[in-house]
């Protein structure tokens, strides 16, 4: 790619992570080749494949309580996933370079405990750990914890900032003469650090949360932002531009915060074949049970006795608003309006329940031959729409094989992907500077 102002980052490389989604219907769990979402063998194969592909990181989300709909579990197709830090500790033993990212929330954890567990993972993995900081957007998780309930949106980010400052102080305070004291509206603690400093200073800080408060929090504290802007270039560029402006406003260089959107790749020998495959993937993702479960969220009742290959319910939804707190991506929206639009579409296009739910599924990610997708990824990073991608394979554990065997070489041919790991820590893989608190401390000493 030529060195022109039209290409603002002509030498930028693509960073890749793999997002193992333990629940949700992005992964096809019904395929005969699918592994179990709780079996270590599935995690091991995905992590080792990603490491073979020289990925920066293996990434796990977190859910401390199963999703519910009208008092019933409604995780789609599979239910339950093991604790992230425990899984990653096991993976540290069977990998050598890949970063290990644990999503952990700040609403229900405690800083001293979480600082210790994350630092332990970082020490034991030789500086490969990261913490994806989330606030958790549902109330029912709070019922699991002694504080009960949850915090409202702005309080969650106040708590997040106090929590992260406390954790960093604990990590940085390892050799300090006095215990670390951290106070604020949501905490008041005095901690003697228990784990030595790590090979990368301290774990890398990721963040996932998309509101203005969430973006400001990332701009102030995080080193990588995991976003949901991973399908449309213009949308991703607008997000990246906004986040970089916030990073500069927080007094940091704009490239201090790397942007890795979650996304999905469907690859085949030709673009046309990939489009056919993408249609098939979408159909497999929405199983009959998933179609009825997603429909039930809109109607506000259990519709599992309906025929997924039959028409939509003739009656209206039994709720006025889709519950804020029960794990629906359409939460807060008006079910009567959605039902009306869905019925109209089903009638006009002669769609059954399942066909309609499939048609309503949003596009996710990139579809094409390895060379088409590689060109597109290079365009994204070299035009600043992201620094790379956090890929959710649609099948585990084998769904990453073609990415590593076909897409990675295509990126390497374009000079946009490493050909070997040059460092050992996740901070080095991502090209990050020293932790922010270390730089601030060093500047204060000059
Ligand atoms: C891409 C992305 C991934 C997320 N992953 C998780 C997760 O694994 N566990 C969790 O509890 N919350 C997760 N969240 C939710 C956030 O923690 C946050 O509670 C939610 O986005 C609401 O905050 P916001 O209004 O700032 O976006 C995620 C959010 C985003 C945008």
222 Cα to the center of ligand 1, angstroms: 14
The DSSP-derived string for 274-322 is HHHHHHHHHHHHS-HHHHHHHHHHHHTS--TTS-TTSPPPSSPPS-SS-
- Is residue 137 within 6 Å of ligand 1 at its C-beta? yes
- Interface predicted TM-score of the whole assembly (ipTM), two decimals: 0.97
* Binding-site residue positions for FMN: 103, 153, 157, 211
Residue nearest to atom 21 of ligand 1 (CA): 209
62 lines ligand 1 (CB under 6 A): yes
Q: Is 65 in the pocket of ligand 1 (CB under 6 A)?
A: no
- Angle (CA) 381-385-388 rounded to 5° is 45
Shortest-distance atom of ligand 1 to CA 138: 19
Q: Note down pLDDT in tens along the chain; length 446 residues.
A: 445 568 999 999 999 999 998 888 899 999 999 999 999 999 999 999 999 999 999 999 998 888 777 677 767 778 888 999 999 999 999 999 999 999 999 999 999 999 999 999 999 999 999 999 999 877 778 888 877 667 888 889 999 999 999 999 999 999 999 999 999 999 999 999 999 999 999 999 999 989 999 999 999 999 999 999 999 999 999 999 999 999 999 999 999 999 999 999 999 999 999 999 999 999 999 999 899 988 998 998 889 999 999 999 999 998 888 765 555 667 778 899 999 999 999 999 999 999 999 999 988 899 999 999 999 999 999 999 999 999 999 999 999 999 999 999 999 999 999 999 999 999 999 999 999 999 988 998 87
- Asked if 260 and 226 touch (Cβ cutoff 8 Å), the reply is yes
Count CB atoms within 10 A of the CB of residue 315. Answer: 9
Please give the annotated binding residues, written as ranges: 103, 153, 157, 211
Rounded to the nearest angstrom, the distance between the alpha carbon of 137 and the centre of ligand 1 is 6
The helix (H) or strand (E) run that includes residue 62 is: none
- pTM, two decimals, is 0.95
Under a CB-based contact definition with an 8 Å cutoff, are residues 211 and 358 in contact? no
Domain 15-270+365-445 has CATH 3.30.360.10: no
* Cβ–ligand 1 contact at 134 (below 6 Å): yes
Is 210 close to ligand 1, i.e. is its CB under 6 Å away? yes
**Residue 228 beta carbon below 6 angstroms from any ligand 1 atom:** yes
Tokens of 198: 């790590």
Which pLDDT value is given to residue 74? 67
Q: CA-CA distance, 125 to 123, in Å (whole number)?
A: 6
CA-CA distances (angstroms) from residue 144 to 94, 137, 148, 251? Answer: 33, 14, 7, 38
SS (H, E, C) 23-79: CCCCCCCCCCCCCCCCCHHHHHHHHHHHHHCCCCEEEECCCCCCCEECCEECCCCCC
Distance from Cα 153 to the centre of ligand 1, integer Å: 12
Q: Say how many Å lie between the CA of residue 2 and the centre of ligand 1.
A: 38
Residue closest via CA to ligand 1's atom 12 equals 136
Please identify, by atom number, the ligand 1 atom nearest to the C-alpha of residue 213. Answer: 26
In ligand 1, the atom with minimum distance to the C-alpha of 215 is 26
Please state, in angstroms and rounded to a whole number, the distance separating the CA atoms of residues 55 and 51.
6
Whether residue 308 contacts residue 353, with contact meaning beta carbons closer than 8 Å, is answered with: yes
Cβ–ligand 1 distance for 103 under 6 Å, the answer: yes
Nearest CA to ligand 1 atom 11: 136
Ligand 1 mutation target, pool 155, 208, 230, most atoms within 8 A of CB: 208
Structure tokens at 400: 């990453």
**What secondary structure letter does DSSP report for 12?**
P
The residue ranges of every structural domain in the chain are 15-270+365-445, 287-360
Give residue 170's Cα distance to chain centre: 26
Ligand 1 centre distance from Cα of residue 219 (Å): 16
Look at residue 324 in the predicted model and tell me its pLDDT: 56
**pLDDT for res 2:** 47
* CA dist., res. 403 & res. 20, Å (int): 14
Mutate to test the pocket of ligand 1, among 140, 150, 210, 239 (most ligand atoms within 8 A of CB): 210
């Amino acid at each position: 790619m030529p060195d022109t102002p039209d290409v603002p980052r002509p030498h930028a490389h693509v960073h890749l992570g793999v997002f193992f989604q333990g629940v949700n219907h992005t992964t096809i769990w019904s395929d005969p080749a699918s592994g179990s979402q709780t079996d270590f063998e599935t995690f091991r194969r995905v992590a080792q494949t990603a490491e073979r592909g020289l990925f920066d990181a293996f990434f796990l989300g977190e859910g401390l309580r199963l999703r519910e709909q009208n008092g019933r579990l409604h995780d789609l197709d599979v239910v339950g996933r093991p604790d992230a830090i425990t899984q990653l500790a096991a993976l540290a033993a069977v990998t050598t370079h890949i970063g290990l990212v644990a999503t952990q929330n700040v609403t229900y954890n405690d800083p001293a405990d979480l600082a210790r567990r994350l630092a332990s993972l970082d020490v034991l993995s030789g500086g490969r750990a990261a913490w994806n900081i989330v606030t958790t957007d549902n109330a029912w998780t709070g019922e699991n914890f002694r504080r009960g309930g949850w915090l409202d949106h702005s309080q969650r980010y106040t708590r997040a900032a106090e929590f992260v400052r406390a954790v960093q102080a604990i990590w940085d305070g390892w050799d300090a003469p006095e215990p670390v004291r951290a106070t604020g509206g949501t905490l008041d603690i005095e901690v003697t650090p228990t784990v030595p400093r790590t090979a990368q200073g301290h774990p890398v800080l990721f963040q996932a949360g998309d509101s203005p408060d969430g973006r400001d929090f990332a701009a102030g504290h995080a080193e990588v932002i995991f976003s949901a802007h991973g399908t449309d270039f213009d949308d991703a560029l607008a997000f990246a531009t906004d986040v970089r402006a916030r990073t500069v406003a927080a007094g940091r260089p704009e490239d201090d915060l790397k942007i890795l959107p979650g996304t999905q790749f469907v690859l085949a020998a030709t673009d046309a074949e990939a489009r056919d495959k993408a249609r098939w993937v979408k159909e497999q993702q929405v199983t009959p049970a998933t179609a009825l479960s997603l429909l039930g969220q809109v109607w506000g009742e259990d519709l599992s006795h309906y025929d997924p290959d039959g028409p939509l319910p003739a009656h209206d939804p039994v709720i006025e608003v889709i519950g804020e707190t029960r794990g629906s991506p359409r939460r807060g929206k008006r079910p009567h309006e959605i039902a009306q639009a869905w019925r109209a579409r089903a009638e006009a296009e002669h769609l059954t329940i399942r066909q309609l739910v499939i048609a309503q599924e949003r596009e996710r990610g990139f579809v094409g031959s390895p060379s088409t997708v590689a060109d597109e990824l290079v365009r994204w990073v070299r035009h600043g729409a992201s620094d790379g991608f956090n890929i959710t394979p649609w099948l585990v554990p084998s769904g990453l094989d073609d990415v590593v065997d076909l897409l990675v070489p295509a990126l390497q041919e374009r000079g946009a992907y490493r050909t070997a790991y040059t460092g050992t820590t996740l901070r080095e893989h991502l090209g990050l500077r020293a932790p922010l608190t270390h730089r601030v401390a060093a500047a204060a000493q000059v």
